[in-house]
């Protein structure tokens, strides 16, 4: 169920990213990179809060520490997505399809990193606590 919630938030964040990108691109002509970074920043802030509270329902860890880890991941994700896009374009001549494919790959990668290292829960699972008690 967590992955489904993650997917819903990512779709909303992607729509926000693209909407901000298109709006800023129309305001700042020929500044696609700046518009892209700003769109990803807006979507990243939106996604962080929704992932923390809705997707992973994380309350056990420091919000500041999670924010630092999340935005560090975002800062790494942007060049990784760009590299995947660049490599894909050397094989395929359809930028939209290649971008979508690289975005999906990055979403899958960032889901697992987010789940394991950013919004991880300190709660013990019932099976784990039984094992810890020697039962």
The 10 Å Cβ neighbour count of residue 110 is 22
Cα distance between residue 71 and residue 40, in whole Å: 11
Contacts of 127 by beta carbon, 8 Å cutoff, 6+ apart = none
Whether the predicted pLDDT of 93 surpasses 80: no
Burial of 107 (0-12, 13-18, 19+ CB in 10 A): middle
pLDDT digits (tens, 9 = 90+) for 15-63: 998 788 778 877 877 555 677 677 778 999 999 989 888 887 777 668 7
Q: At CB < 8 A and 24+ separation, what contacts does 96-105 make?
A: 103/14
Specify the pTM: 0.65
């Amino acid at each position: 169920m967590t992955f489904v919630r993650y997917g819903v938030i990512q779709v909303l964040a992607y729509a926000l990213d693209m909407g901000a990108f298109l709006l800023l691109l129309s305001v700042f002509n020929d500044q696609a990179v700046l518009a892209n970074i700003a769109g990803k920043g807006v979507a990243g802030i939106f996604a962080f809060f929704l992932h923390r509270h809705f997707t992973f329902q994380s309350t056990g860890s420091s919000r500041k520490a999670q924010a630092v880890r999340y935005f560090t991941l975002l800062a790494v994700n942007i060049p990784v997505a760009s590299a995947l896009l660049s490599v894909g374009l050397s094989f395929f001549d359809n930028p939209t399809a290649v971008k979508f494919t690289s975005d999906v790959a990055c979403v899958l990668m960032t889901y697992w990193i987010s789940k394991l290292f950013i919004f991880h829960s300190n709660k013990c699972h019932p099976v784990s606590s039984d094992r810890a008690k020697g039962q």
